[in-house]
Amino acid sequence: MSQSDTPACQNPPRMEVAFLDVGQGCCTIIVTPSERRVILVDCNAGAGPRTMRYLEESALPLPEVICISHLHHDHVAGFAAIFGHLIQREIRVERVYINPVGHTGKKSTKNGGQAVVQQLRDLLDGQTDRLRDFQTHEAPYQVDGVKLTVLHPDKFDLHEHQDRDDMLNNLSGVLQVSYGESSVLLSGDIEGWAASCLLSQYKPAQLGARLVLFPHHGAGWEHITSVGASATQHGLKIVSPTAFIKAVAPTWTVVSVGSENDGSWASYGHPGQPVLDLLQEWHRKDGGGFVCTEVTRRCDRTVCEHARAVPEARPFRVPCAGSIRFDLGSDGSVSIDPTVHTEWQRVVDGLGRPQCRS
């Protein structure tokens, strides 16, 4: 074969992971590398149309794998609009993971997604073989080189604690998304007890991720008692958020709080100042960065650097960027898409000092 006959080298396909600015809540879109199939993880109230718009503008199909970490309103209520489109267009959903807490227990959380659970029956048309509980005994699901593994909660914990309202966040599903040497950890709304479960059950090599969605919108958790001793819950010693980040050792961290987070800042503490300090310190040492999916007067435009993703490129500051996308290669490389910042730059430059730094 002559040199002219040699096919041009093509860039290897990369998995895309987008975190949408959907206000107070979560919505993660994963696009498989070769076949461009869509996996949707959580979708908060009112975010259905925004998710549809993102898919259309990105020339992506409707999701065929859906994961619902738990039934709190800010993670589930947007699915009503998504399911409506899927049913109308007769799109087959291959797999649904849903956390049973909140609709199988004796008690029902006031933020539960009962309407979404009912719609699932119409969506799956009685074919319950495609419906799986979001718990660890489920075998990993693979599609187009991407593997989905549920790391938490396990079946025993669901049975033991599902009627406890104070455990709903800690029973939130934790999903590991792997593509070759790259992995993403989507941690839902877990708090200290669940983080401690993860660190006690998995070695760092199993838990580590290039990219992590920090638990519970950047809220921290108490791990020290008033007398300075390590706190315990249900017989388990609670690890610190620092221990959690060191175990996962991410290159990039995302905090999912959105531009409609104004009313939640004081009431929920999302994100917490200790978590912001922790992430800034971690990524200052280890490169990469962290970013909030928020563009408000609290937006901090100085905390993140594009450091090691493209070593030969000039580093640039990453603001709280609204919807943001990462590309991950099978070789473990991860890069942040700089084009997503362009439309926000003028907005961010006009903002005053963010409240999270006041």
Q: Which of 225, 204, 218, 303 lies closest to 255 in space, CA to CA? A: 218
205-258 confidence digits (pLDDT tens): 899 999 999 999 888 898 988 888 889 988 899 999 999 999 999 999 998 876
- What does the pLDDT look like over 73-113, one tens digit per residue? 888 888 888 888 888 888 888 999 988 776 544 444 444 46
Hey, which CATH number is domain 12-357, 2.40.10.340, 3.30.70.20, 1.10.1040.10, 3.60.15.10? 3.60.15.10
φ, ψ of residue 252 to 5 degrees: the values are: -130, 140
**CA 165 vs CA 38, 69, 89, 102, 107: distances in Å:** 32, 16, 37, 9, 8
What's the whole-model pTM score? 0.85
Question: What is the full DSSP assignment across 13-36?
Answer: P-EEEEE---SSS-EEEEE-TTT-
pLDDT at 341: 46
What is the distance between the alpha carbons of residues 287 and 307, in angstroms, rounded to a whole number? 6
Q: Of the spans 9-18, 109-118, 289-298, which averages the highest pLDDT?
A: 9-18
- Choose among 29, 8, 3: nearest CA to 323: 29
The Cα-based distances of 272 to 26, 145, 182 in angstroms read: 17, 36, 28
**Nearest-angstrom CA–CA distance, 7 and 347:** 44
Task: Report d(CA 38, CA 66) in Å as an integer.
Answer: 9
Using the predicted structure, report yes or no on whether residue 2 has a pLDDT greater than 60: no
- pLDDT for residue 32 is more than 90: yes
% of the chain residues with pLDDT over 90 = 36
pLDDT digits (tens, 9 = 90+) for 154-168: 988 877 877 777 788
In the 3-class helix/strand/coil scheme, how is 237-297 assigned residue by residue?
Answer: ECCCHHHHHHHHCCCEEEECCCCCCHHHHHHHCCCCHHHHHHHHHHHHHHCCEEEECCCCC
Q: What residue spans define the domains of the chain?
A: 12-357
